Amino acid sequence: MTALAALIRRDIRIALRVGGGALIGVLFFLTVVVLMPFAVGPDLALLSRLGPAILWLGALLASLLTLDRLFMADHEDGSLDLITMSRTPLELACAAKALAHWLAAGLPLIVATPVLGLLLNLDMIATAAVALTLLAGTPALTFTGMIGAALAVTLHRGGLLMAVLVLPLSIPVLIFGVAASQAVIVGPMTFGAPFSILCALSLVSLVIGPFAAAASLRHGLD
């Protein structure tokens, strides 16, 4: 356990230092969401209808942006070799890295959501709903994105490949995340059904992600 805790602590520390990924994600999120009202125009009703979708898109793209470095940095400096060789199972090490990434890059997005909700004319309840769906859904984005990040290392291809691989996996998360938020704002669906599916997606990816990523990394040993 100390090994995993050490890995999580290290990754969070690196992400929060100057040049780390955490701030980049939040800034990107901020940029996308702040620009959107200017692009859509001064139609408040339209803005609040689009609000949840914009917030979700921003969060999805922001998490994709920072995910492709998840294993690449460790691969380039040789840390991944030592992690593979260690007594810690690679699956657990992958899960720890994804958890650290979510804590450093995913949580700040959720914290920023209430502020950005103001810009999109969302009321308190709608903003809370979006934040709640993001809290339930972003782990799925991180843990499925991890598979793409591992494949990017294995195949020696960077960013773009990763986006292409991961996007289809993240579409269900986007659909049910936005659906659950919309249910609170305009109805007529209940909030519970899409939200439960969103939670289920997160739980499934929590299990599958680390195994798929570890398998990919092992296969790509070189």
- Least Å distance between CB 30 and other proteins? 23
Q: Which is nearer to other proteins, 13 or 43 (CB)?
A: 13
d(CA 62, CA 64): 5
- Least Å distance between CB 71 and other proteins? 14
Is residue 76 a contact point for other proteins (CB under 8 A)? yes
- Least Å distance between CB 13 and other proteins? 7
- Give one DSSP letter per residue of 155-204, joined into a string: TT--HHHHHHHHHHHHHHHHHHHHHHHHHHHT-SS-SHHHHHHHHHHHHH
Task: Show the tokens assigned to 199.
Answer: 């939670």
> Segment contacting other proteins (CB under 8 A): 14-22, 42-50, 120-128, 198-206?
14-22
Task: Show the tokens assigned to 154.
Answer: 């294995």
Is residue 45 a contact point for other proteins (CB under 8 A)? no
Binders of other proteins among 80-99, rule CB under 8 A? 81-88
Site string for other proteins, 19-38 (x = CB under 8 A): xx------------------
Task: Show the tokens assigned to 64.
Answer: 């994709």
Q: How far is CA 123 from each of CA 15, 92, 114, 119, 120, rounded to the nearest angstrom?
A: 32, 40, 10, 10, 9
Choice from 38, 42, 45, 78 touching other proteins (CB under 8 A): 78
d(CA 146, CA 161): 13
Residues in the site for other proteins, rule: CB under 8 A?
A: 2-3, 5-7, 9-10, 13-14, 17-20, 76-79, 81-88, 221-222
